[in-house]
Structure formats: C-alpha cells, structure tokens
Amino acid sequence: MRRFALLALVLALACVGGSARADTFAVLPTQATPFVLPSFTTPNLTGSILMPPSLQTAPSSPQQLDYSQLLGIWQKAGASYGIPWQVLAAINKVESNFGRNMGPSSAGAIGWMQFMPSTWLRWGVDANRDGVADPWNATDAIYSAARYLAAAGGGSDLYRAVYAYNHADWYVREVLGLADTFGGDGTIAFSLDRMQQDLDSARRAVAAAGDELIRAEQAEIRATGVVRRLLARADRAPLLSDRLDLQQQAGAAEATRAQVAELVGRRNQALASAQVQLERAQRASTPASFAPGAAQILGGPSSSGGYVFPVGGGPGQVFASHTHHDYPAVDIAAPAGSPEYALADSVVLTAWSGIDQRCGIGFTIRAFDGQVWTYCHLSYRDPAVVKGASLSAGEQVGLVGSTGHATGPHLHLQLQPATSWPQRQSWFLSFAGTAFTWSDEGAPLEPAAARTLAFAPAAAAGPVFEVVEDASKPRIVRFTRTGP
C-alpha cells in the first residue's frame, strides 16, 4: 500500500503598501486584510458565519466542476488543514459522487460533502470568500470537510477522523481504501470515476430496456388473448352475421397484436444493444475492480471462503435484514440496476424466460456444496444463465429489479426447499459490514484493526468524540482534540 505524505502549505501574504501623496485630497493606501482560514481547534461561535437563506434547499442550478477544478480544491484544502487530498477526494466520491448527488439525503445530509446542518453550523467555512458558508458550494464544503477531519484528529489518526465523519467501520475502510488507489495526480481517481459512470449508465440502460421489453411482451400476451377469445366466440356463434362480425373484430385485434409483436422485436434489439454496451463497460472496468476501494464504487463482487456476495455495490448501498416475513429467505435491497453475481461455483437448474407472477425474472442454481438457491425479481437476467449452464463464483448473472411481486428493487434469495435462513449461514454473515449493511441493526461497528491501511497511522490516545447522556438536556457531544 502506498503512503502519501501530508501536503504542506506556506501562506505568504504580502501587504499592499505605498507612499502617501503630498496633496491634501490624496487617497491613502490601504492595508489588504489577509484571509485566514478558521482554526480546526475551535468550532464556529454561534452566529459567526453567514449561511444560505435555506440551508437544506438545493440550488436550482447545482454547481458542477470539472476534474482539474476539483483536484485543485482537494489539494489546497488538504494542505490548509493537514489532511491528504486523496482522503478528501474519496469522501467527496463516496458522499456525493463528485457533486452529482448532493441530497438532502434521507437523514438530512446536504451538499458536496454531505454535512448534517448541525455539524455545518459548527465547522462550516466560507473558503471562497463570498461572504457565505455554503455546503452546496464545492470550495466551502471541501475546506469544511478538511477542517472537520483535522478537528477529529486527522493530522495523527486518519482512521479515527474518518470514523468521526461517519460512524461505521465499513465506511472508513471504503474511504481509506479508495484514497489509497488515487495516486498522486488524480489520474486514477478520475479514471475510476469515468468507469463508474460508464458502468452505471450501461446498467441503467439494460435495466430500462429490460423493463420496456417486459411491458411489450405482456402487451403482446394480452393482445394474443384478445384475438383467441374473439375467434373462439366466432366459432361458437350460431348466426353467420355474428360470426362474421366477430371475425372482423378478431382481424382488427390481430393487426394490433402484430404491431405489438413488432414492438417486442424492437425492444429485443434495444436490449441486445444495451447489453453490448454493458459488456464493454464491464471489460474496461475489470482490471480496476480488483484494486482495494475501487470494487465498491464499481459494484464488483466481494468474495470470501469460496462464496461471493450475490449483490454488488457495498455496504453503503446494499442492505439485508435478519428475517424475512414469515418464512426463511432474505431480501437484499439495492438500487435498481445493481449487479447480481453467482454466489458460488454452480449449475443452473432452471431459468424462466417469462415473468413469474410472484418471483418475476429469476432462476435456480445448485452450488458446489449441493445447496440449491433461487434468485427472484431481477430486472434483467444474463443470456448465459440458462438451464444446464455452469457458473463461476462472482460471474455476473443479472441486475437488481422489482419484477413479479415486489415492493421495491431487491434480490429475493432463498434455499430450495426454504428450510433455513440464508442470512444465518456463516458465508453470508462473513460479508456483514463489507458487502452489505444490516438494515435492522443500527449499532455501528467500533473502529478496530484497520490500522494497517495506508492512510491510517497509529491511533492517538484519548477519545475524539464522546456522547454525554443527560436527562435534563439534549444529547451533548463532547469533543476532545487528539495528537500534538
């Protein structure tokens, strides 16, 4: 793992000087006021910063910056507060996808670096000197994140600082692992970003094309049923006039069915074209997906002990609960279009081409250990997943969807027969916090043995944040600075 030296900044602000002129009405020279960034040792005083009129309302035209502009801000902000710019870049990527998804989030986080409003009040910085500390402005937000990380001890313990940013071990590992891949000039960071954008776009296109094909096929089934019913009624009609009238109606219905059949053909072609683009994006990203930290943003597979977690995207986007309704199964929630993988070396026992009323698009496999698994609700199943096919662990088998009886995008995974809970098997449990997050368990993991990461130096003594419970007051967060 590479170690990145902390960037140093030397602020040399020259005073604007000059000699006063002799005449009475001369304009005297003024001393330029140097801009001093707020210290990370003390949070903002109440009312000390001016903020946008509505802090939680996104601007009508969100700020977007190109890669070179972002790199400059990360580097300057990092140097100002003694935080490696790669860590700021990684948080920027994980939190808002470089400004593409600035919220407000479901938890109320806002802006380029996804600050909670209460945290912004304490640590927000008007870094671009326009008079407003604005979390929706990239410069203000990134400098504020650097200040917050420094306040949390980032100068001596990046693991602890990032953990203070988001209290989850998986988050720290993802951020520091991603930062460790970014290199020294931003080239890798931006290459990964382009790969992710290409992959996400291709996955969305395939999922959308699959949905359109399903709708067209269902319309064709309905149209075919209308034709058959009309012809059947015509055959049973006792009067010739009724028979002829029904046959005429059947002819019109057949014309409609033929139009829908043509639409099905076009939808099939569109899906095939989208699939080609997805395959290209996958091939381009395959080498990078093995780099620590990159696999999560690229939706790559996570493996452990011969098993692969069946949904890609990482613990920030993939969730599972300990139970599933009233029978053993697991629903693995993830954004529509997220990649699904074969969970082990296996053979396909069956794969249905139509839409099952309950399971939607899916298939059943027998894993190398003899267990039989069924996948349900896919938006798209890979053409290679057919009866009798052999699958390798981690081979992509489709995309997350909500076909069949589903209330939202997820993979329904169950054993056949459904005699035990998948999420209680050791292989599934081994992925908790690394490939998915328990949706029904809010307790965060404590920072533990992640000190070997390149951006995680040895811990400084003492707590960074301590929550103090007092029945007579709101929850108090006590801050203690660590390090020298």
Sign of the alpha-carbon torsion through 439, 414, 387, 406: negative
User: Token pair for residue 474?
Assistant: 């709101």
Provide the 10 A C-beta neighbour count for residue 127: 25
Question: Residue 120: what pLDDT?
Answer: 96
The whole-chain average pLDDT of the chain stands at: 83
Contacts of 106 by beta carbon, 8 Å cutoff, 6+ apart? none
Q: Is 141 exposed, middle or buried (0-12, 13-18, 19+ CB in 10 A)?
A: buried
Helix axes 240-285, 187-236, angle to 10 degrees: 170
Question: Residue 304: what pLDDT?
Answer: 84
Q: Which residues of 460-472 are buried (b: 16+ CB within 10 A; e: fewer)?
A: eeeebeeeeeeee
Contacts of 166 by beta carbon, 8 Å cutoff, 6+ apart? 172
In the predicted model, residues of the chain with pLDDT beneath 50 are: 1-33, 442-453, 456-484
- Residue position matching structure tokens 């199964």: 329
User: Token pair for residue 52?
Assistant: 């946008």
CA 288, CA 477: separation in Å to the nearest integer? 40
Provide the 10 A C-beta neighbour count for residue 109: 21
User: Token pair for residue 322?
Assistant: 């300990």
Helix axes 85-96, 169-181, angle to 10 degrees: 120
Give the H/E segment covering residue 197.
Answer: helix 187-236
Give the H/E segment covering residue 255.
Answer: helix 240-285
330-333/465-468 β-pairing = unpaired
CB 149 within 8 A of CB 83: yes
Q: What is the pTM of this model?
A: 0.75
136-160: pLDDT as tens digits: 999 999 999 999 999 999 999 999 9
- Helix, strand, coil shares of the chain, percent, nearest 5, are 35, 15, 50
Question: Residue 470: what pLDDT?
Answer: 42
Provide the 10 A C-beta neighbour count for residue 323: 14
Question: Residue 29: what pLDDT?
Answer: 44
Contacts of 154 by beta carbon, 8 Å cutoff, 6+ apart? 81, 82, 83, 87, 160, 161, 162
Q: Is 473 exposed, middle or buried (0-12, 13-18, 19+ CB in 10 A)?
A: exposed
Question: Residue 455: what pLDDT?
Answer: 52
Question: Residue 441: what pLDDT?
Answer: 67
CA 107, CA 102: separation in Å to the nearest integer? 12
Sign of the alpha-carbon torsion through 98, 99, 100, 101: positive
